[in-house]
Every structure is written in C-alpha cells, then in structure tokens.
Structure 1
Amino acid sequence: MPATSSDGVLVVVDGNQDPPPDGGYGWVCVAACFMINCFTWGIVSSYGVYLSYYLRYNSFPGASPLDFAFVGGSTFGAAMLVAPLVTFLARKFGTRATMVVGVIALAGGFIAASFASEAWHLYLTQGVLVGIGVGFIYIPSIAILSQWFSKKRSLANGITSAGSGIGGVIFSLTTGTMIETVSLAWSLRITGIIAFVMTSTAVILTRDRNKVIQPAQHPFDTKLLSQTNVWLLLAWAFISMLGYITLLYSLPDFALSIGLSRGQATDTITVLNLGTAVGRPFIGYLSDRCGRVKVPAFLTLFCGISCFAIWLPATSFGVTLLFALISGAILGVFWVTIGPLCVEVAGLQQLPSLLSLSWLTIVLPTFFSEAIALKLRRSGSGREYLYPQVFSGLAYVLASTFLFQLQRRLEKQSSRQ
C-alpha cells in the first residue's frame, strides 16, 4: 500500500509484510545497539587521547605524526572497508554469528596493541584489527533498528548513536588516567577486556527481523549507482567525513597548541563526547518530526559555520569548551541519520545494500582526513591549527549543499507522484 515518508516522499510498502512494530522487543535492540555504539565508536573516539600522548611523548621512536594519524584513520577505514564482506556474511551465516567475529577482533586488537614496540604494530592492532572488529559489530547492527521502527526510526537511531558519546566520555576521562597510573600497555589491555564483556552482552540481546523484511542484502548493488539521489547522498557522506575526522581527532592537540594543560585538553574531548550523548537523541527526534533529509542538511551546514564562528577564534579554555559542546552535539550527524536517510532514498529492502555503498564511500576520507589535518598544521606559527580548522569548516559547508539538493529532488518527486 502507498505511504508517505517524513519528507513527503511517496513510498510503497508490501501489504504482505508485517510493518515495523515501533516498539516491543525493538526497545531491547535499542539498548543493545546503544551498548554497541558505546563500546565500539565510543572507545574509538577517545583515540584523540592516545594520539595526543603519542605526539607529545615520542612513544615510538622514529615514528612521525603522520604514522599516528594513520593509526586512527585506519580504524575508521578498516571498519568501513569490510562492509560488503560483513553484509555477505550476515546474509549467509546470520547477524549474530557475524557480530561475534567482531567482538573477538575488537578485544584482540586492543590487547595485541599493548605489546606493540613499533608504529607498524599499532597500524595492524589498534588500527586495522580494532577497525575490523568495529565493522563486524556495528555494520550489522545499524540495519536492525530500521527493521523495528518506522515512525520513531530516527529517534531510535539517535538514542543508540548517543552511546558513542557516553562511551567517549567514559574512555576520554579514564584513558589518560589509566595511562598515567597503570601504563599505556595496561590501559590498552583493560580497554580490550571491557570491550569484550560489554559487546558480547549486546550481541546476545540483538535480534533482527530478516525473515519478515527479507532484505536484499547485496554486498555491492551497483544498480543503486544509477540513481542521482544515491550519488547526492554519497557525496554528502564523503565530504562531511573529511570535516568530522579532522575535528574529532584534532581537538585535543589543538587545545595543547593554544597553551592549555593536558587535563584541560582531556576535558575538551570529554565535553565534546558529552555533547554527542545529549545531542544525538535530539537530532533523531527532530529528524522524525521535521524531515529526515532537511534536518541533517541544516545541521551539517551549522557545524561548518560553528567551525568558522567559534573554533577559528578560540584561544581560551572557555571558548574551546563551548565549541566542543556545540560541535559534539552535531558533528556526527552522519552516524545518526545515515540509516533513515538510506531508507528514504532507496527503501527498506535496499537498506543493507545502500549502507554498504555508504560505508565504502567514507573509507578514503576516514583514513586520510587526520593525516591531511596534521600536514596542514603550521607548527611554531602561533596559529598551528588554522588551516585544519578552515579545512573542516569548508568540508561541512560544502557537504550540506548535496543534502539540500537531495531534499529538493525528493520534494519534486513527491509532488509529481
């Protein structure tokens, strides 16, 4: 039967399918996916603490700042690069079995990193292996929520995405303390053990509705690339991620570059993650009420404006904290809205396929963004992070134009129908 999406787009729902229940066991899945975000992306987002430590204390002699930047970038890159494989394995062996592989890889990556003695060891462990673990756990989970929710789809995604903010707060506060009190190696081991216990619990609680939805689950459906709307969505994902990684990983070291203490730099990334925890559920609620394309378009633009209006002139602890709080609430709008956006563009059955294309699209920007940012630094200039700040702001502003265009096209298609 025909139905209308939150943006007024006419979609077709198979009358033989049970509609998403918008609740029930879906709320247990929300709690499970919240935990997954908390102990995957939440842990990964605290890499800025490790990066700042590696840069300032020359932890691995002979390693350059670019080496450490690529470690963080390879985590995101590896997580996204395995998306087609994860989609295929989830179809063949089931969602839960695929996620178990991720739990082992995630914990193993952190524990193995604790024995690293050279930078390339970090590439393979804290970078690639942790990234593979995150990908195998997170990618199957993102499609589950859209199977359980319709009217509250963006809200459910917003609540679960807030988990990365909560995890970021927890690990940003504790990682620096653990490094100082029990050593870098034991900090990594403890993180790995916690990640194993918590993600295992979350995987046990997850339950998909694949038998009802019967999603296509093509790991790489090239037919989608014939649609202009898909290209607009992917362009937004690619360009906005350049700004996201730059801002997320650069902020702690930026704080040190303007003369703040290490404790204040840690507080900055903590406040950013706190903003994420508070802001993401609100983004989800707002998207359900005001439009699942319109809201992320405006928030992407606003994040770019805040880089120029607040971050660029920031020279004090107070202004830096203000920027961290505001940007934290909105900088990760991609992670909150990508699932619902894919449904708006391609429909529920094509969700896994378009998500796979989205993950592959952001492999390059997630891998290279921080390396670009560190290359743009002007050490000893007094404004060390001027160019990375401008780069991040421009990326967000440019990315927003693609979503605004997507919004206009969807409105025209709706009016014709």
Structure 2
Amino acid sequence: MKYKWVVMGAFWLLIFAYGASWFCVAPMLHNIESKYDIGHTYSHLLLSIIGLFVVFFAWPAGHLVDKKGAKASALVGSIFMFIGFGSRAFLLQSYWSILAATIVAGFGLAWILVALAPMMIQWFEEKASLAIGITSSGLFLGFSFGSVVSPHIFDKYGLDGVFEFFALFSFISFLIWIVAGKDKKKLESRRVSFKEGIKQIMASKNALIYPFIGFFIVGATLSASALMPSLHNFDKFEKGNIISVMLLGCAIGAFSFPYIAAKYGIKKIASGVAILALLLWIAFYFISPYTLLLLISFLFGVFLQAGWPIALHSQETEKGVTKENEGIAASLFISLSNVGGAVLPVLTGYLERNMDIAFAGIAVYIIACFILWIAIRR
C-alpha cells in the first residue's frame, strides 16, 4: 500500500500549485490597483471570485466523483487550473482580461477540492482524517509560497514574470497528476440520484452546520489575508511576509489539528481554536512591533484554519454519508465553504473604507465559527 503516499504526494503538489498560483496576487493587489486604476473591491475579486465558481462546479464535481472516481474530478480541475493560470501572462493588457483568466482557473478548484476527501478516504481509510489534513495543508502552504515569492519576482521581472513563473509551476503539477494520480480500485457502478443523496445526508442534524463552518472559515481566511497588510504601515516585502506566515500557519493548523481533534474531542478542540483565533486577531490589530506581528500572524493562521479539515472530515463521516453519496456530501461542504470565500472578502473590501469596521467584520466571522461548533451534536 505504499502507492497511497505517491497519490497523496501528487494530490498535495496539485493543490499546492493551485494555492500558490491563486495567492501570488495577494501582496500585489495595490500594485494592480495602481496599474489598472481600479479600487479595492475590484482588486479583491482576483482572490474572491474563484470561490464563487466553486459554488457552481462543486455539484457536478461531486456527481463525477460518485460516478467515475476522485481522480477524474481532480484531473478536470487541473486542466482548468493550467489553462486559467497559464494564460494570465499573455493577458496583461487589462484588468478584465486577467480577471477572465482567473475565472477560468476558478472553474477548476471545485473539481480538485471535492475530490480531496473521497480520494484520501479510499486510500487511507481509518487514518483518513490525518491524510485529509496533510493534503489540505498543501493549499495553504501554496498560499504562503505564492505570497512570499511573488513580490521578489515582481521586483525583478514585473507582473508578467510572476504570472509566467506560476504558469510553469501549474503545468508541472498538472503533468505529475496525470502520471501519478490513481483511484485505489476501479469503481463499481454506483448510482444514487441527487435528491436521494441529499435526503440521506440530511439524516444528520449536523449536515448543514459543517458547511457553514467552512463558509466562515474560508471567508475569514481570504478576508484576513487581504486586509492584514493594510492594518499597519508595512512595506511591500513586509506585506508579503505577513500574508505568507499567516498562510503557513493555516497549513500547520490544517495538518495537525485533525489528528488532535480525533484524539481529544472534535467539538472541544474546534471551538477552542476558534476562540484562540479571535484573541489573536484582536492582538494583531492593537500590537505594533513587526516581529511580534509576524508571530501573531502565524499563530492566527494555525488556529483559524484548524477547523476546516476537521469539519470536512466530519461531514464525510456523518450519519447518512456512504460511498454512494460521498461526492454529494463533499459538494455540499465545498460549495457552501466557497460561497463564504466569494462573498465575505468582497464584503470586507467594501468595509475597508473604514478599517475599524472591516476588522470588526472579520471578528464576527470568527465568532460565528465558534457558535456553530457549539451547536454541533455528536
């Protein structure tokens, strides 16, 4: 069964490349605003609009997982990823052309994310929670890598250099997935209607709570990563570092806390990390020394993101979720998570006219996560 680690590695690289290619624009939003004469709301769309399209494509992705397997879904996503992120370097003539390429890339994320839990569950079975945590950490490590590397590339080679680098990176990960990605075994014909699948999933009282936890976690993560560089007087490299260490923390949280929660109690650990994330968010706002802000950013990312893979695994292992409808269950979680990723950063960008209100808005998102974890019945 050693091949399961090859599959995990290939999936991890795929999702890492997606995250890096997506978030390479995060530290450059103000540069993009200046270059194309656009405001905060428009520039933030380059981060948030991907989540909007996840909402639409999560459902067909879930159907494909249940019908053809997780590899097929991730392959579709990787094709969109390469076409979208690969074309940005050739579309620098306007903001709208870059946004269009980002939208194409956004078509792919749902197919990758929906495949994540079913792929890890079939290969790792009882250890799937750890595997989901490890693999999902790739997305946030990608966010961190893209955020810290892109300012240095931009400084030497400009925006086209940034997009060329990540186009090549996405292509390499796409090729590796084609070669190494594999379902554990050929699927038997297993059909369940969408209506019946949803009915089975809704047998659990927690069926909608987990997706709404994802809604607020994803929305808070994207909103905070866009707002944090503006809360203090950072230079462009410090902005990239702040975003990078925060997202590195997200990766550590996603990696480590599914195991911790499984051992010590999901509800207790998940609600506890939500409170810690809130306290660290408040600390980031009021503390000034840059070194301390780096540490706070890292820890904030750890505790903010810890709940997402816990909620995803919990959704996939709830009463009523079976091999016949696991794709639908994943679709429900991923789609609602990314409604948050689409809506909340745009709302935060609008609120950014007043930094105090924008800061308070993200605090409310985190408090909502805590309340929802408390509402879970296990």
* TM-score relative to the length of structure 1: 0.81
Out of 8, 11, 35, which is 2:13 matched to? 35
C-alpha distance in structure 2 between counterparts of 1:301 and 1:210, whole Å: 42
1:252 paired to 2:229: yes
Structure 1 equivalent of residue 111 of structure 2: 136
Choose 1 or 2 for highest CA Rg.
1
1:47 paired to 2:22: no
Q: Deviations over 1:291-340 (max 9, x none)?
A: 344432322232123212x1221333123212211012122234422331
Bigger Cα displacement from structure 2, 85-94 vs 191-200: 85-94
Q: Could you tell me which amino acid in structure 2 is paired with residue 155 of structure 1?
A: L
Equivalent positions of 1:125-164 (< 5 A) are 125-126=101-102, 128-164=103-139
- Contact kept, 8 Å, 2:87 with 2:167, in 1: the verdict is no
**Aligned partner of residue 228 in structure 1, secondary structure:** coil
C-alpha distance in structure 1 between counterparts of 2:113 and 2:333, whole Å: 14
Gapped regions of structure 2 (runs ≥ 5): none
- Contact kept, 8 Å, 2:69 with 2:187, in 1: the verdict is no
Q: State the shift of 1:228 in Å.
A: 2.4
Q: Could you tell me which amino acid in structure 2 is paired with residue 296 of structure 1?
A: A
- Contact kept, 8 Å, 2:17 with 2:142, in 1: the verdict is yes
- Contact kept, 8 Å, 1:40 with 1:164, in 2: the verdict is yes
- Contact kept, 8 Å, 1:218 with 1:352, in 2: the verdict is no
Q: Deviations over 1:334-375 (max 9, x none)?
A: 442233111332334242211111122134321122221122
C-alpha distance in structure 2 between counterparts of 1:232 and 1:319, whole Å: 35
C-alpha distance in structure 1 between counterparts of 2:326 and 2:230, whole Å: 37
Structure 2 equivalent of residue 175 of structure 1: 150
Out of 283, 287, 298, which is 1:314 matched to? 287
C-alpha distance in structure 2 between counterparts of 1:112 and 1:222, whole Å: 37
C-alpha distance in structure 2 between counterparts of 1:179 and 1:192, whole Å: 15
Higher helix proportion (structure 1 or 2): 2
Out of 397, 401, 406, which is 2:371 matched to? 401
Distance 1:148 1:217, change over 3 A: farther
Equivalent positions of 1:289-328 (< 5 A) are 289-308=263-282, 310-328=283-301
- Contact kept, 8 Å, 1:217 with 1:352, in 2: the verdict is no
C-alpha distance in structure 2 between counterparts of 1:83 and 1:376, whole Å: 29
Distance 1:240 1:274, change over 3 A: closer
C-alpha distance in structure 1 between counterparts of 2:318 and 2:375, whole Å: 13
Out of 219, 235, 238, which is 2:212 matched to? 235
Q: State the shift of 1:60 in Å.
A: 1.0
- Contact kept, 8 Å, 2:266 with 2:310, in 1: the verdict is yes
Gapped regions of structure 1 (runs ≥ 5): 1-22, 379-383, 411-417
Q: Deviations over 1:243-298 (max 9, x none)?
A: 222112222333xxx22211111111121233233333221221231234443232
Equivalent positions of 1:299-378 (< 5 A) are 299-308=273-282, 310-346=283-319, 347-349=321-323, 350-378=325-353
C-alpha distance in structure 2 between counterparts of 1:331 and 1:193, whole Å: 31
Q: Aligned residues: percent identity?
A: 16
Structure 2 equivalent of residue 6 of structure 1: none
